[in-house]
Structure 1
Amino acid sequence: MPNFSPTQENYRDLAQALAKFTSLTQIKTLCYGFNGILLKNNLVFLNDSAIRSNLADEDLTSFALFPISWGNQLWGLMLCDASSVSQKRLELARTYLTDVLHQAFAQADVPIQVWEPLKPNQIKQLNYFNHLMFPANSQPRSTSADFTMATAMIDGQAISNDDAYQSIKLAVAYIHQHIQHALSLHEVAEAAYLSPSYLSRLFKKYLHVSFVEYVNNQKIALAQERLALTFIPINQISAQLGFSQTSYFTKIFKRKTHLTPSEFRQRNHAIQKVYTIPRDLDWQSSDSVYDVTRNYFKRRDIIYRSDTDDGTTYVTQIGDLTDSAGTRGWVFTVDGQQLLQSVDEVSVQNKSVIQWVYMNYAH
């Protein structure tokens, strides 16, 4: 490998040049380096999971693969969407992309060249050779430098379950750390090193709700706490939770709870304590609210007691607050709604947040 080592600034320059090329020619172009770097949509991706998920979003069977040589070594690939591009335009693209590489890596003291695109049968032969070297029963876990990426990425399935689990876990953690800000799918995806579309699919797969529903449910749960336990004005609560307009906050709040924020505050001013349990990856679709609640308090060493009467399970104590002669006690809500079923009869499938509320029944 040559002495010159590209910097992040070099890669950013190249990513910008490729984005400009895509805009001018309408030929979507990506660059993949065998050192584990992907340039796509004016962004530089270094994380293996992010690279896989971003490639998984593309139909790579329609891309022309241009090998890149750096000195006497194979360095990476330029990938151009050739679904509606003539051979002549591809040849012109190859010349332009070679110039772009020279400009981005001007300090390099060795020749950099973009080769002619690999033919389909050549890609097949490379894949065949890969299987000869790494039979199915001895195939090592793939890395970002796997040359089989062009054929392995189908609807995101190339990413391992462990990678997907860790990515969605990272996304959920980011949401809860930033729940008091406006959150977009793109922002959270970037924080989890994923493409937005892939993260959206992971939410459906692991949490069984859409990204927007999950975020809104967490925000409304937090709003319910503040409405019940504080005197903070509604417009301030709206702003604190990242809503740009109070009217939109009110709309979402009413959709979730069937009450406006002011109606909710008026009806729930007697609430003394709220425990909020946001959905995490430990929840199983077969779990009940009772199962999730019990596990949540047990992990946090919080006293939690329940009783059964005529087949109905009641929570009688959380922490130091207990039922008191039918005048005060614990009730639960799921995604902002108070339910009439027994706590062990309500499934958490497709649910995002549980709240336990201690209130005075007389009010």
Structure 2
Amino acid sequence: MLKDDAVFLNSLAIKQALADEDLTHFAIFPVTLGTQLWGTIMCTAKNVSSKRLSLAQDYLTNVLRESFASNTDSFTIWDALTAHQVKQINYFHNFFPLSEPNPLATPSNPATINGHPIANSDAYHSIKLAMAYIHRNIQQSLSLNDVAEAAYLSPSYLSRLFKKYLHVNFVEYVNNQKIALAQEKLALTLTPINQVSAQLGFSQTSYFTKIFKRKTHLTPSEFRQHNHAIQKVYTIPRDLDWDDSASIYDVTKNYFERHEINYQTDADDDGATYLTRIGNLADKEDSQGWVYTVDGQQPVQSANEVNAQNKSVIQWVYMNYAN
């Protein structure tokens, strides 16, 4: 594969180079040499008209034919594949995998290390696509079918991937992300609850209230009343870098370091670790400070004493105790 003036020679390197790309924003042109598929050309297609794509197709055809003069009449660049056609190809791949078997896979633990999908394995890439789509569209109604289509998977297969690798079912994962965002909106804005519900893709405020109370043990209005003194929220959604053996503190530390967020910690005599400053907000004795929640609940233990396994979202909250 040629990309950004670099050459990628093996499947793992290619998958890594494409891992962060959103394929819905690309035009994928199949290229044939004679009667055989020779390769594909991917071009950025965000906000690109069909006329411009057609011109690009003609231009690429001329470039190929000029570059391979001995095969001038044999190269053909076909119309760009639709998202539905790409999805169909991926369905066939699920039934008839053509790639070489992963040497680290075993029948009982396919393509995993310590229960995690091996980076850039098919499972890793599929889950990453699905999670990226969820977070881009978290303020819309999200169904398993919608996300599966975006990740070019069958709904049943995507459901199995969530349970196997994230240890939570699809609906719970999505709801945990929505409720975390709802907590931010309720604490930091005065947006009416029915509007918060609508902004998160819930068709009925009553259903939003039901899910919110099940996750937090408070209604949205009770949560707002109890948390109006919150000044800042950092939300850490689960991703494939989480280690199930890690603590909430370990996951937080890795996230802050990756995103270049400054923080300070302190520990008591019992070994409990606390975050005393995040960004430019620091604890002030008996008046302001940082607390954390996991999937909408505030544990009583310190962050280094709570395991990240089976968790979907962490939030660090700076609040005024005096209020």
TM-score clears 0.5: yes
Equivalent in the alignment of 2:195: 236
Counterpart position of 2:13: none
Residues 1:158 and 1:287: Cα distance change in structure 2 (over 3 Å): closer
Which deviations, in whole Å up to 9, do the C-alpha atoms of 1:17-76 show, x marking residues without a partner? xxxxxxxxxxxxxxxxxxxxxxxxxx75556543333x38xxxxxxxxxxxxxxxxxxxx
CA shift at 1:156, angstroms?
12
- Conserved 8 A contact 1:234-1:262: yes
Gaps of 5+ in 2: 1-32, 38-83, 102-106
- One of 297, 309, 312 as aligned partner of 2:268: 309
Deviation at 1:310, TM superposition (A): 2.1
Counterpart in the other structure of 1:289: 248
Instruction: Report the equivalent of 1:330.
Output: 290
Q: Which moved more, 1:212-221 or 1:309-318?
A: 309-318
C-alpha distance in 1 between matches for 2:128 and 2:243: 15
Measured in 2, the distance between the counterparts of 1:292 and 1:46 equals 33
Q: Which residue of the other structure, out of 233, 238, 261, is the alignment partner of 2:220? A: 261
In the alignment, is the contact (CA less than 8 A) between 2:263 and 2:277 conserved in 1?
Answer: yes
Structure 1 position 313, deviation (Å): 1.2
Q: Which residue of 2 aligns with 1:362?
A: 322
SS at match of 1:193: coil
| Aligned residue type for 1:268 | N
Q: Does 1:164 align with 2:164?
A: no
CA distance in 2, matches of 1:261, 1:244: 16
Report the AA paired with residue 283 of structure 1: W
Q: 1:140/1:355 Cα in 2 relative to 1: closer, same or farther (>3 Å)?
A: closer
Amino acid of the residue matched to residue 320 of structure 1?
A: N
CA pair 189-323 structure 1, distance change in 2 beyond 3 A: same
> In 1, distance between residues paired with 2:287 and 2:173?
34
Query: TM-score when scaled to structure 1?
Result: 0.60
Q: Deviations over 1:263-289 (max 9, x none)?
A: 000000000000000000000100100
Task: Sort the Cα spacing of 1:337 and 1:46 in 2 relative to 1 into closer, same or farther, 3 A.
Answer: closer
Q: After superposition, where does 1:17-166 map in structure 2 within 5 Å?
A: 44=85, 46=87, 48-53=89-94, 55=95, 141=100, 162-166=121-125
Q: Which amino acid aligns with 2:187?
A: A
Q: 1:140 to 1:229 in 2, by over 3 A?
A: closer
Give runs of ≥4 in structure 1 deviating > 2 Å. 43-53, 154-161
What percentage of aligned pairs have identical amino acids? 68
The residue aligned with 2:14 is: none
C-alpha contact (below 8 Å) 1:52/1:156 kept by paired residues: no
What's the offset of the Cα at 1:157? Answer: 6.4
Q: Kindly tell me: are residues 244 and 352 of structure 1, through their superposed partners in 2, closer, same or farther at Cα, counting changes over 3 Å?
A: same
How far does residue 140 in structure 1 lie from its aligned partner after superposition? 6.3
Q: Structure 1 residues 193 and 140, CA, compared in 2 at 3 Å: closer, same or farther?
A: closer
Q: Using the TM superposition, give the Cα deviation of residue 327 of structure 1 relative to its aligned residue in structure 2, in angstroms.
A: 1.0
Tell me the TM-score normalised to structure 2 length. Answer: 0.67
For residues 223-272 of structure 1, what are the alpha-carbon distances to aligned partners after superposition, in whole Å with 9 as ceiling and x for unaligned? 00000000000000000000000000000000000000000000000000
